[in-house]
Amino acid sequence: MPDLIVVGVDGSVPGFDAVAWAADDAFRMHVPLRNVGVVETWPYQVPQIPAPEWDEALIENSRKVLAQAEEIARERQPTIEVSTELMTGTPAAVLREQAGDAIELVVGGRGLGGFAGAVLGSVSMNVAGQVPVPVVVVRPRAAVAHGEIVVGLDGSPTCEPALAYAFRQAELRGSTLRAVYAWALPFALAAGFSCDFEALREAQQRVAEEQLASWRERYPQVKVIADVRCAHPVDALAAAGDRADLLVVGSHGRSAIGSIVLGSVSRGVLHHAHCTVTVVRAKDAPTPARR
């Protein structure tokens, strides 16, 4: 797999924010950046509209957008290698295909037309968790950098790829890594039965620390905070993300149906977190059927 970052470009402000974010990450990783634009002509191919003329106009506009994206990337990080790719098709399908050449896929949280929907963005929802590489959904940059990255922890092997990505990002940025482990009260305790809450909390803390132990050894220079909370994972992660520059979550990829592929936690985090979110698919997750 080539060492390359791919970013989806659609001419929107969030799309250009994604280009700037991707340029910074390409610089940190010492890899090239590819700006990908997609001409989605099919909605305009109706008898009342002369399709060839519209196609030419759409293609010309897309070329201008890609040129602007390239300029943004080069101004942001003059030393990185930047290329552009203009393709025809549906944005989500094209970007999923382009991800095969990448180590990371970057998209804006909202955009124009095919690159965004009413809530999160149709492309974001249709690529996150559905490709084997991390998918970064970029939100507007905070006025002040927090110097902290948040990663979701659940004690299972499925979140190991997310941990690998988060530790690497923390190392590259010199950031603190906050590993959030959220656990729920047992039904008996929630129903009012007696239980040693402190012993239960300590047991959950041990689960988190055990999963982090090997990663601490691999990245001794990264400051790690094991943040164990009795809360719903989405609530805990979204709250921690308010003080983070990046929030990393894993995706189990258990189904081949759109947002179900994404998983309830990763989907919830994408909808509720205010910071940039990276979704990292579990290594054993099936590749969803393409639509």
* Nearest 10 degrees: Cα torsion 266, 267, 272, 273: 40
Q: For the chain, which residues make up each domain, given as ranges?
A: 5-138, 148-281
Q: Which residues pair with 153 in a beta bridge?
A: 181
DSSP helix/strand/coil, 174: coil
Classified by CATH at the fold level, domain 5-138 comes out as: Rossmann fold (3.40.50)
Tell me how far the alpha carbon of residue 212 is from its chain's centroid. 21
Q: Hey, what are 147's tokens?
A: 């110097």
- 277-281 and 135-138: which strand pairing? antiparallel
Read off φ and ψ for residue 199, nearest 5 degrees. -65, -40
Instruction: Return d(Cα 41, Cα 88) in angstroms, integer.
Output: 8
**Domain formed by 148-281, architecture:** 3-Layer(aba) Sandwich (3.40)
The predicted pLDDT at position 197 comes to 72
DSSP one-letter string for 130-187: TSSS-EEEE-PPPSS---EEEEEE-SSGGGHHHHHHHHHHHHHHT-EEEEEEEEPPPH
User: Model pTM?
Assistant: 0.86
The predicted pLDDT at position 151 comes to 98
The predicted pLDDT at position 52 comes to 62
Cβ atoms < 10 Å from Cβ of 83: 13
Domains 5-138 and 148-281 share a fold: yes
The predicted pLDDT at position 116 comes to 35
| 69 close to 41: Cβ distance less than 8 angstroms | no
Tens place of pLDDT per residue across the chain (291 aa): 468 999 999 998 989 999 999 999 999 999 999 999 998 755 545 544 555 666 788 888 889 999 999 999 999 999 999 999 999 888 889 999 999 889 999 999 865 444 333 334 578 778 888 899 999 999 988 778 999 999 999 988 989 999 999 999 999 999 999 999 998 876 555 555 566 778 888 999 999 999 999 999 999 999 999 999 999 999 999 999 999 999 999 987 544 444 444 568 888 999 889 999 999 998 755 444 443
The predicted pLDDT at position 189 comes to 55
